[in-house]
Structure 1
Amino acid sequence: MLIIPKKTPPVETHWQKELANSFTTLDSLLEYLRIDPSSLPPALSNDAFSNNNNINIIPTQNDISIIEQHNNARRLFPMRVPKPFADLMQQSNWYDPLLQQVVPQQAEFVDKLGFVADPLQEQNGTTAGLIHKYKSRVLLLVRGGCAINCRYCFRRHFPYQDNQLGQAQYQSVLEYINNDTNINEVIFSGGDPLMANDKQLAKLAQKVDNITHIKRLRIHTRLPVVIPSRVNNELLAWLTNLRIKPIIVLHINHKNEIGEALIEKTKMLKQAGVTLLNQSVLLKNINDSAEEICELSEALFEANILPYYLHMFDPVKGAAHFDVSKPDAQKIMAKVITRLPGFLVPKLVQELPRQPGKTPIDLGLEP
Structure 2
Amino acid sequence: MQIFKVGGAVRDRLLNQPITDIDYVVVGASPQQMLDAGFQPVGADFPVFLHPETKQEYALARTERKSGHGYGGFEIYSAPDVSLEDDLIRRDLTINAIAEDEQGIIYDPHNGQADIAQRVLRHVSPAFAEDPLRVLRVARFAARYANLGFSIAPETLELMQQLAQSGELNHLTPERVWKEVSRALMEPRPDVFISSLRECQALSVLFPEVDALFGVPQNPKSHPEIDTGLHLLHVLRQCAIHKQSLAVRWACLLHDLGKGLTDKDQLPHHPNHDKAGIPLIKAVNQRYRIPKEQAAMAVLVGQYHSLCHRALELSAEQIAQLLYALNAIQHPQRLIEFCAACEMDSCGRYGFEQQPYPQSDFLRGALDAAKAISSQPFIEQGLKGPAFGEALLTARTEAIKHYMVHYQDINQLIE
Higher strand share: 1
TM-score, length basis structure 2: 0.27
Q: RCO (CA 8 Å, sep 6+): is it higher in 1 or 2?
A: 1
TM-score, length basis structure 1: 0.30
